[in-house]
Structure 1
Amino acid sequence: MRFPQIFSLEGETALITGGGTGIGQAIAQCMYEAGATVALVGRREEELSRAVSELGERAHYFVHDITEMDQADRLATRVEGKLGPITCLVNNAGKHLKKAALETSTDEFLAVLNTNVIGTHALIKAIAPGMVERQKGSILFTASMASLFGIPQVIAYSAAKSAHLGMVRSLSTELSPNGVRVNAIAPGWIETEMSRKALDNDQARKDKILGRTPMHKLGQPSDVGWAAVYLASPAAAFITGTILPVDGGASIGF
């Protein structure tokens, strides 16, 4: 296989959780442009429908709440019944909580873990067996800078995103002998609607972020999207168990 086919996702079917907005939508768009059929999964049908309409005929959506763990098998059956075998799973859906550690309740902590960790595991259990049977597949996680270093007032989110790194390492050792690669992307500070709302009225925080990012700018959602395409493509055939920061150097900056 030669360039550019080595980076192609033609013939692949990617299920992307949290695919209707932000980074998830960017991953879906880049994978679609690389030739994949994409299944966008989320709770809000209006956002999913809009995102699919902006892509094209190889884009589909399925309304599903990943915290409903007992429905994971049903989702996999729905998607594969319509689109065929899922060859790439992108675990992007997440729940954020900004709150001081000593003020975070048990219920709040569990809500973040259920979305980011337990719900993700349920979906992997529903989809990965098919990949193992076919001896081929790619599983991606959207990790975070909170996976890599300490950030105040996000203890539940940090715990959940740090758990992703352990899941990647453990899953890759279990599944890679069966042709299923498992990797993660750790986005830095990316320019999305959510980040704009957070930073536009907090210049001090924005200056701090840019000051510790060697490229001195925010990333674009497509920066994460194309990294996901690479990790899911034949070009990354010998890559598994890795965490790829897409952060303008923030994780190594000072």
Structure 2
Amino acid sequence: MALSAFSLQHKTALITGGGTGIGFGIAKAMIEAGAKIVITGRREEVLKEAKAQLGPNCSYFVFDMLDKAAMPAFIHKIETEIAPIDILINNAGIHLKKWSLETSDDEFEKILQTNVISVFSLSRECAKRMVERKNGSIIFLGSMTGIFGIDRVVAYGTSKTALTGLMNNMVTEYSRHNVRVNTIAPGWIESPMMLNAINADPERKQKIVNRIAMPGFGKPEDIGNAAVFLASEAARYITGVVLPVDGGATVNM
């Protein structure tokens, strides 16, 4: 297969939460693959700093994913001012580490609103246009918690499991229009937030280290490279897949 199949030249990607961490890693990899990207988030200073690092092929818009009523106008603005969206990366999300017995209904609902319902709303708005154009790639960012149980993440894990159901059902509707929907399930990926969290809980850190089959933690670019592949023509016949990028943690007991 020609390497050109992995190119994202002449493609435009919208990456939610693209200013930091995994989102930034995906943004960087997609630019290196030739794409034009749009990153979104709630904090302009973070987006501005990311754009300065990512260069002229990056644009940003401040947007709150919970503002579902504004999504149609938001997508229209991007497609009018930048370019039609070929690739949607649903990366933005929030986390909650709490025992299920201590998790309130409001906390549970907030996680689902951000990690599932807003993802559905944005994907639907982008898919309307992708279906019309008969081309597109939608990628969800899942989690290990959507594949196996982990204590103290009941709301987060439920939200990531729900994304698999959302993906499966979208595949049945969009595939005939050449719009593919896939999920990347990152393992433990290095970021200041992740390292701070596990270093504060040595027992949990050791459990995680023992679970990962390969040495060390993943890096944001590992997720970025997987996203480039799934969004490219090299994956033209791949849809409805949950791809763990986890150093073997899913299967290592």
TM-score by length of 2: 0.98
Counterpart residue type for residue 192 of structure 1 = S
Alignment of 1:156-175 (within 5 A): 156-175=155-174
Tell me which residue corresponds to 1:70.
69
Post-superposition offset of 1:77: 1.2
Does 2:37 match 1:48?
no
What's 1:228 paired with?
A: 227
What SS class does the counterpart of residue 66 from structure 1 fall into?
coil
Alpha-carbon separation, structure 1, partners of 2:27 and 2:71: 20
Summarize deviations over 1:75-128 as a string: whole Å, max 9, x none.
101111111100000001001111111111111111101111111111112111
Distance 1:171 1:94 in 2: 20
2:118 maps to which residue?
Answer: 119
**2:193 is matched with which residue?**
194
Paired with 1:206 and 1:98, the residues of 2 have a C-alpha distance of 14
Identical residues among aligned pairs (%) = 49
Amino acid at match of 1:181: R
Instruction: Measure the CA separation in 2 of the matches of 1:158 and 1:112.
Output: 10
SS at match of 1:252: coil
Q: Distance in 2 between matches of 1:207 and 1:213?
A: 10
Aligned to 1:61: 60
Q: Which residue of 2 aligns with 1:90?
A: 89
In 2, distance between residues paired with 1:209 and 1:170? 32
Separation (CA, whole Å) in 2 of partners of 1:143 and 1:149: 12
Give the whole-Å Cα distance in 2 for the aligned partners of 1:99 and 1:200: 17
Describe the SS at the equivalent of 1:41: strand
Measure, in 2, the Cα distance between the counterparts of 1:67 and 1:146: 23
Partner of residue 215, structure 2: 216
Distance in structure 2 (CA, Å) of the matches to 1:112 and 1:99: 12
1:113 aligned partner, one-letter code: L
1:177 Cα offset (Å):
0.7
Output the aligned Cα RMSD: 0.9
Q: Distance in 2 between matches of 1:118 and 1:46?
A: 26
Q: Tell me which residue corresponds to 1:177.
A: 176
Q: CA deviation at 1:210?
A: 1.1
Scaled by the length of structure 1, the TM-score of the pair is 0.98
The alignment partner of 2:140 has SS state of: strand
Counterpart Cα distance in 2 of 1:216 and 1:57: 36
Letter in 2 for 1:195: M
- The Cα of 1:25 is off from its aligned counterpart by 0.7
Question: Could you say which residue in structure 2 is the equivalent of 1:18?
Answer: 17
Offset at 1:63?
0.4
Aligned-partner Cα distance in 1 for 2:200–2:156: 23
CA distance in 2, matches of 1:219, 1:181: 26
Tell me whether 1:153 sits opposite 2:152 in the alignment. yes
Counterpart residue type for residue 108 of structure 1 = E
* CA–CA separation in structure 1 for the residues paired with 2:63 and 2:147: 29
Question: 1:4: which partner in 2?
Answer: 3
User: How far is the alpha carbon of 1:223 from its aligned partner?
Assistant: 0.4
Q: Deviations over 1:101-157 (max 9, x none)?
A: 111111111110111111111111211111001100000000000000001111110
| 1:46-71 Cα shifts (integer Å, max 9, x gaps) | 11111111011110001001111101
Task: Give the match for residue 248 of structure 2.
Answer: 249
